[in-house]
Amino acid sequence: MAPTQQDLYTAQARSLHGTGRVDVSGRAGLPVGAPSELGGSGHGYDPEQLYAAALATCLHQALVIAATETGVDPSGSEVTARVRLSNGGAQHYRFDATADVSLPSAEGDRRSRVIEQALRLCPISDQLDPPPA
């Protein structure tokens, strides 16, 4: 028998053309815009920044859980995510994401085990290529 799935939380974001903002879960909107490197104003957050923020936050929360569960002190831990937008031609775009993980209280195999567990816990970590070291 398959385990029963329990919904824990739902977030919603809405983007409307011409508004320059994204409303997130009924809160005041985040300013959004295209980066200046792509011909935009550079004002507000772009999708790549928002995705990097989501990935870094998700993986870091998972890292803290995994560290705590295995007796590793998560103090001073940090995750930096980078998202690169690429164009494969004919309007085919893709994201490439990487992450750097700092876990000062663990080294070697212990550090690797905590990071592997964090990758399993974070539901969007499968988008990372290559996995963080």
What is the rounded average pLDDT for all residues in the chain? 89
Confidence (pLDDT) at 128 = 83
Distance of CA 69 to the CA centre of its chain: 21
Domains defined along the chain, listed by start: 9-45 (no CATH), 46-132 (3.30.300.20)
Question: Taking residues 66-71, what's their average pLDDT?
Answer: 97
d(CA 24, CA 33): 15
1: confidence class by pLDDT, cuts 50, 70, 90: low
- pLDDT, position 2: 60
Q: Dmax over Cα atoms in the chain, in whole Å?
A: 53
What residue type is 59 in one-letter code? L
pTM over 0.95: no
Q: In which residue are the tokens 């195999």 written?
A: 109
For the stretch 73-108, pLDDT in tens is 999 999 999 999 998 888 898 889 999 999 999 999
Residues with Cβ < 8 Å from 80, sequence gap 6 or more?
Answer: 56, 99, 100
Residue 126 has pLDDT above 80, yes or no: yes
Sole residue written with tokens 């103090």:
75
Spatial distance between the Cα atoms of 19 and 21, rounded to a whole number of angstroms: 5
The CA-based angle 97-87-128, given to 5 degrees, is 15
- Residues facing 22 on adjacent strands: 15, 30
Query: Looking up tokens 């929360």, which residue turns up?
Result: 61
42 has a pLDDT exceeding 70: yes
| More confident of the two residues 15 and 58 | 58
